[in-house]
Structure 1
Amino acid sequence: MSKPLHNNVCNEKNFSLLYEKYAQELGNFLYYKYGNTLNPTDKVQDAFIKLWENCAKVVPEKVKSFLYTVANNLMLNAVKHQKIVFKYQEVKPKDYTNESPEFVLRKKEFLKRYEKALSNLKEEERVAFMLSKIEGKTHKEVGEILGITKKVAEHRIYSAFKKLKEQLDDFR
């Protein structure tokens, strides 16, 4: 059994020995687990600061466990924070396109005609079609949502699809 390096964590000399013993190893652990983007060396420093602040409460045998737990939690908090930042970071729309002006115009025209064609469908056909094609529901799920059988849902979807194809046929 190895001899412990420390008897009292609050002793500056013992704390310095603990730092020399665990800092590099802890930094490598965080680097391997989370990469370099979240500054693992900063988290190691913060973990040792927490150890110093709580040195009277930490039993000398539990120092390594305390350091690894604190450092890992600091990294997890940084990961959570980064996810929140990315979520709320405004994505600026690009003000240019690789599409030709003719294509953009045809796309707008098609969208108008598609919306008009959808509005010309019977309500039950439009609802079934949109549940199936827009929301990705199966025919069975469409039937359950609308309170109809699977076969009736299929008929409504295919009927709507056929009418849309007829009205938008010249856009091929």
Structure 2
Amino acid sequence: MPENLSENICQEAAFERIYNKYSDDVHNFLYYKYGAQFNPRDKAQEAFIKLWDNCKKVTFAKAKSFLFTVANNMMLNDIKHQKVVLKHKKTKPKHYTNETPEFVLEQDQYLEKYNKVLASLKEEQRVAFLMNKVEGKKQSEIAEFLGVTQKVVEYRIYSAFNVLKKELENFKLK
């Protein structure tokens, strides 16, 4: 079957001949070069679609070269895209929250107010309160550490709690 170099590949019969002749070759080329994970059959079909779209620009003699080049480039573009996708999957958002901006602002304001009230406490109240509530120490441990009785520690924690409750609305401890 001699190929007519001047034959227009936009004609259905000529395009069909090219398809029948090269479709398996393009698929096998992509399959052996890149493997099955990038759908070589789909890329081969897309290459033929591009050939059909550009049939007026591509001569019959250049059809094979056009198909293999386009299919290879599509596969390379797909691989490049997959690398970008993987790169973005690896990066995690730096600060992600489900809270509304208003809630975050209120939280920051409350924390600032809490720190101010905490700083305004007498030192012995603040130390006893923080050792108990933040560090989780028992009152007897705090009393031993500070060199005072357990009743004094209880009073300091209780009075610190009362000041915090009075200065901060909705202040509760668990």
TM-score, normalised by the number of residues in structure 2: 0.49
Compare CA radii of gyration and give the structure with the larger one.
Answer: 2
